[in-house]
């Protein structure tokens, strides 16, 4: 072939590649309009695409991955040691649930549902800390969808019955009366609704599983710890794991069976998750439900416990939320619930239901579209969900300050034409 033909051949090669991409993009847009998307099968039956096949630049995508690797969390890999260097220094900070050594900095990137990149140890089971809250709020959503909870504006106390615990002082008799656990039987707590708990605006007062509400992230001065000012439910936001665990106990009372069983049957099995994830509570969070001992699970790993899960299963859950609760032809979580979870909390606009972090006015992740959201946990553990770019990013054990940089670099790897065509 002569030299003069080479540029012409190159042009035809480029035009052919562009044409194939446009056909692929057109097929996707049609599928998007018709509600037809790719969904992975169970286990390992998850199709992959190269960056070029899915409208991404491989060089820029590799830069994003290297950026993530370079910003691995600096906290100890022994997560129990990490606990006692942070939360364990709080009052009543002793661990009461299991901890685990973590693995390498890890990630999974999905585009249009296909795996386009993985690194680290995506099959390793690790703690996910407060990403657990998104699984917890999902079990409440499942109860709401089945009318076990009539309205999120209902008072939680109206759904509760006195709880018999199997450890601690609550099982003892006091003055002839059985000392049962009744977490909403105070004048303040009786006002609390399901929505207050879901949005972390309840200001619930009390002690649960040996942890007083004021002991979670207290101020530096002990003076206001107790007694403290009570805020009317719904008027103030406070990220508080004791109150999260109160929601878990309330949901357990509604379902009358372990929440991990509910999640497995109604969400994780239908979306093809592995059989390796586990959801733990505390050594002292056992209660009696219908004659059986049941552990009330925790909403994170603040004092140990919470969800232990691999990055692939995290990606499946993120993809479910990207598809607004639908998996193939089945609506696993109602679209109504997803819409409410993505509605900003009035007193904390970057927070929806726990633990759906919103990018309202692009304040949470400036480089991401305002429509993006993320399920977040300590570590940092992140499931980033981007409907505008049809993208899911799982990042584990990355410095929190690097989150925006990672998202920025992944979005920069998207083809300009592809990104523009997917904007709403």
- The pLDDT tens digits for 361-391 are 999 999 999 999 999 999 999 999 999 999 9
CA torsion angle 299 78 278 68 (round to 10):
80
| Tokens encoding 54 | 């899915």
Contact of 258 with 27, CB cutoff 8 Å: no
The token pair that represents 186 in the structure block? 């105070």
Per-residue pLDDT, 223: 65
Distance separating alpha carbons of residues 58 and 211, to the nearest angstrom: 48
Q: What is the pLDDT, as a whole number, of residue 350?
A: 98
| Mean pLDDT along residues 141-165 | 97
Task: Judge whether residue 247 has pLDDT over 60.
Answer: yes
Could you read off the pLDDT of 402-416 as tens digits, one per residue? 999 999 999 999 975
Residue 420 has pLDDT above 70, yes or no: no
Give the separation between CA 8 and CA 3, rounded to whole angstroms. Answer: 10
Cα–Cα distance measured from residue 141 to residue 354, given in angstroms and rounded to the nearest whole number: 11
- Confidence bin at 19 (pLDDT 50/70/90): very low
Q: Which residues contact 374 (CB under 8 A, 6 or more apart)?
A: 356, 357, 359, 364, 365, 382, 383, 384, 385
pLDDT at residue number 35: 56
Q: What string of DSSP letters covers 36-76?
A: ------STT---B--TTTTTB-HHHHHHHHHHHHHTB--S-
Section 205-214 average pLDDT: 94
Selected residue with higher pLDDT from 95 and 419: 95
Q: Is the pLDDT of residue 418 over 50?
A: no
User: Taking a C-beta distance cutoff of 8 angstroms, is the pair 305, 295 a contact?
Assistant: no
| pTM, entire model | 0.88
**Cα–Cα distance between 203 and 235 in angstroms, integer?**
9
What mean pLDDT comes out for the span 399-403? 98
C-alpha distance from residue 360 to each of 100, 118, 381, 383, 402 (Å): 34, 29, 20, 17, 19
Helix or strand or coil: residue 262? helix
The yes-or-no verdict on residue 167 having pLDDT over 90 is no
Q: Give the per-residue pLDDT at 226.
A: 72
Is 393 a residue whose pLDDT tops 50? yes
Domain boundaries, the chain: 1-36, 39-132+306-422, 151-297
Is residue 272 within 8 A of residue 40, CB to CB? The reply is yes
Cis before 355 (ω within 30): yes
Q: Can you read off the two tokens belonging to residue 224?
A: 């206001």
pLDDT mean across residues, the chain: 89
- Nearest in space to 120 (alpha carbons), one of 107, 131, 132: 107
Residue 207 has which token pair?
């002690």
**What is the per-residue pLDDT across 303-332, written as a single tens digit (0 to 9) for each?**
999 999 999 999 999 999 999 999 999 999
Who wins on pLDDT, 416 or 241? 241
Helix H segments across 173-310? 194-198, 241-255, 259-263
* Mean pLDDT of all residues in 152-176: 77
pLDDT of residue 221: 65
At 303, list the tokens: 């004092």
Across 343-352, b (16+ Cβ under 10 Å) vs e yields eebeebebbb
Measure the CA dihedral 13/19/20/24, to 10°. 160
Q: What is the pLDDT of residues 269-313, one digit of tens each?
A: 999 999 999 999 999 999 999 999 999 999 999 999 999 999 999
Three-state SS for 358? strand
Q: Do residues 356 and 134 make contact, with C-beta atoms less than 8 angstroms apart? A: yes
Please give the angle made by the CA atoms of 321, 322 and 325, to the nearest 5 degrees.
Answer: 40
Q: Are 333 and 316 in contact (CB under 8 A)?
A: no
Please give the pLDDT value at position 179: 62
Report how far residue 222's alpha carbon sits from residue 312's, in angstroms, rounded to the nearest whole number.
43
Report d(CA 337, CA 327) in Å as an integer.
Answer: 15
- Between residues 123 and 28, the one the model is more confident about: 123
Q: What is the mean predicted confidence (pLDDT) over 230-253?
A: 97
Segment 171-179 shows an average pLDDT of: 47
84-123 tens-digit pLDDT:
999 888 889 999 999 999 999 999 999 999 999 999 999 9
Task: Report the distance separating Cα 342 and Cα 406, nearest Å.
Answer: 23
pLDDT band at 8 (very low <50, low <70, confident <90, very high): low
Query: Phi then psi for 215, rounded to 5 degrees?
Result: -80, -10
Q: Give me the architecture of the 39-132+306-422 domain, per CATH.
A: 3-Layer(aba) Sandwich (3.40)
- Would you place residue 227 in the very low, low, confident or very high pLDDT band (cuts 50, 70, 90)? confident
Comparing 151 with 2, the larger pLDDT belongs to 151
Instruction: Among 173-182, 213-222, 413-422, name the one with the lowest average pLDDT.
Output: 413-422
pLDDT of residue 168: 53
How big, in percent rounded to 5, are the helix, strand and coil portions of the chain? 35, 20, 45
CA nearest 184: which of 255, 233, 128? Answer: 233
Q: At 370, list the tokens.
A: 């305002």
């Amino acid at each position: 072939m002569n030299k003069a033909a080479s540029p012409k051949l190159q042009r035809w090669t480029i035009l052919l590649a562009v044409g194939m991409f446009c056909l692929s993009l057109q097929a996707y847009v049609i599928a998007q309009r018709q509600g037809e998307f790719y969904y992975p099968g169970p286990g390992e039956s998850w199709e992959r695409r190269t960056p070029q096949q899915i409208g991404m630049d491989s060089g820029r995508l590799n830069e994003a991955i290297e950026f993530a690797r370079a910003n691995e969390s600096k906290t100890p890999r022994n997560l129990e040691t990490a606990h006692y260097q942070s939360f364990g220094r709080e009052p009543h900070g002793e661990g009461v649930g299991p901890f685990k050594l973590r693995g390498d900095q890890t990630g999974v990137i999905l585009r249009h549902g296909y795996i386009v990149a993985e690194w680290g140890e995506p099959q390793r089971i690790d703690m996910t800390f407060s990403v657990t809250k998104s699984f917890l709020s999902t079990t409440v959503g499942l109860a709401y969808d089945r009318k076990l909870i009539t309205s999120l504006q209902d008072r939680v106390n109206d759904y509760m019955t006195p709880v018999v615990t199997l450890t601690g002082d609550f099982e003892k008799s006091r003055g002839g009366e059985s000392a049962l656990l009744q977490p909403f039987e105070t004048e303040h707590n009786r006002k609390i609704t399901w929505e207050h708990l879901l949005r972390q605006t309840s200001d619930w007062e009390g002690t649960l599983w040996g942890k007083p509400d004021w002991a979670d992230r207290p101020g530096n001065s002990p003076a206001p710890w107790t007694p403290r000012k009570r805020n009317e439910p719904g008027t103030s936001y406070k990220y508080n794991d004791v109150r999260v665990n109160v929601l878990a106990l309330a949901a357990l009372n509604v379902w009358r069976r372990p929440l991990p069983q509910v999640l497995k049957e109604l969400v994780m099995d239908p979306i093809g998750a592995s059989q390796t994830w586990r959801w733990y509570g505390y050594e002292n969070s056992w209660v009696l439900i219908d004659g059986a001992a049941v552990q009330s699970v925790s909403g994170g790993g603040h004092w140990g416990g919470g969800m232990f899960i691999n990055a692939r299963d995290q990606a499946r859950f993120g993809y479910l939320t990207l598809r607004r609760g639908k998996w193939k032809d089945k609506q696993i979580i109602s679209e109504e619930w997803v819409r409410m979870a993505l509605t900003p909390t009035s007193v904390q606009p970057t927070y929806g239901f726990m633990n759906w972090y919103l990018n309202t006015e692009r304040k949470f992740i400036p480089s991401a579209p305002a429509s993006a959201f993320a399920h977040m946990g300590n570590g940092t553990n992140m499931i980033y969900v981007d409907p505008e770019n049809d993208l899911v990013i799982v990042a584990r054990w990355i410095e929190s300050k690097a989150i925006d940089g990672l998202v920025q670099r992944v979005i920069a790897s998207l083809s300009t034409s592809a990104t523009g065509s997917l904007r709403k």
